[in-house]
Amino acid sequence: MQNFGFSLENDDKSLALALGATQNGVTLQELNSAYATIANDGFYNKPSFIKLVLADNKLIYQPKTTKTAAISPESAFLLSNMLQETVTDGTAKKLNHLPLSLAAKTGTVGNNNGNSDAYCISFSPDFTVGCWIGAKEGLFSNEITGGGLPTALSQTVWSEILKSGYIESDKIVPFGVKKVKIDKILYEKEQKEAVCDDLERKKVSFYYKKERIPKTKYDPFIEENVQFSSLNYKNNNICILLCLTQHCKFDLFRIDEGTNQQVFLCTIENLNKFEYIDKNLPQGNTYHYKVIPYYTNLNNEKVLGKETLSKSVTTPYLFS
């Protein structure tokens, strides 16, 4: 925390510090400077209220600024990216309509009797805006929270910045960070991160440090994904009913066990149940049916899985 400009006492160095608990609290200036460090690719600048002093267009005074690295550019980028979700889907949603890629953090301090502090810190690559409401004595209403009035005040400030003609700087992805597509279904159901290159799967994208990219790759063939519900012969036809339990495509084949000739029958889509009727088959033959799953990768190549299912049936002789 000291790398971000916070002043700490010896008593502050405890496990409670991870939750932001300090002996004397922090000032709005300290909070702003810390979040500005994240916006500034992880470099801390000691804040100054004077940009420069001119006299007759001559520079009289300009404070010296010394950059110090608080965290890596990669960590700063990932933190910014994470805090953007506070604006798009979280407590700072009041800022979401602004034509800016803002990141933000809101906070509220209080109890059931009322709140004592409420704040919103928001930042772009160029500006950091901090709004704080505090009770000088006692508490104010629980209805005043960081995502409420402080965020609304921040919205007003950003609107004024935009009126001045501000054009947001581009946020450059650091070399050590990569955007990776993760299988969405597995992530939402089991909270597992598996890199996915299946064109037909639903995916969600996350940024990772390159050394932290998930090693697991999504394998659509890892589970049993199709079952024969029934395989029946009737009137020279074989009726096949399949039950699908996994989201990928399947090819259905018939093999004549007498001639060993294999015939492709059809492709099965992502349906819960599928029925296929193999018509007008010769009598007295044994046929073997098999199902092979596949998916299409990012190179538009068909990737085959192992044969997941096989079953045989013999067409009886019919005597008139």
* Segment 109-129, tens digit of pLDDT: 999 999 999 999 999 999 999
CATH of residue 76's domain is 3.40.710.10
pLDDT of 173 strictly over 90: yes
Counting the structural domains of the chain, the total is 3
Confidence of residue 319 (pLDDT cuts 50, 70, 90): very low
Helix pair angle (73-88, 28-39), 10° resolution: 110
201 and 304, same domain (yes or no): no
84 and 159, same domain (yes or no): yes
80 and 130, same domain (yes or no): yes
182 and 159, same domain (yes or no): no
pLDDT of 72 strictly over 90: yes
- pLDDT of amino acid 320: 44
Question: Which residues share a beta bridge with 256?
Answer: 261, 287
21 and 104, same domain (yes or no): yes
Query: Considering the chain, what is the average pLDDT of its residues?
Result: 86
- Of 230, 250, 249, residue with least CA distance to 240: 230
Exposure class string for 66-88: b at 16+ Cβ within 10 A, else e? eeeebbebbbbbbbbbebbebbe
63 and 195, same domain (yes or no): no
53 and 135, same domain (yes or no): yes
Q: Is residue 319 part of a domain?
A: no
- pLDDT of amino acid 154: 97
144 and 193, same domain (yes or no): no
Q: Is residue 218 part of a domain?
A: no
6 and 140, same domain (yes or no): yes
Q: Work out the average pLDDT over 301-316.
A: 76
Quickly tell me which residue has 């495509």 as its tokens. Answer: 249
122 and 7, same domain (yes or no): yes
Structural domain span for residue 206:
177-212
pTM: 0.73
- pLDDT per residue as tens digits for the range 135-166: 888 899 999 999 999 999 999 999 999 999 99
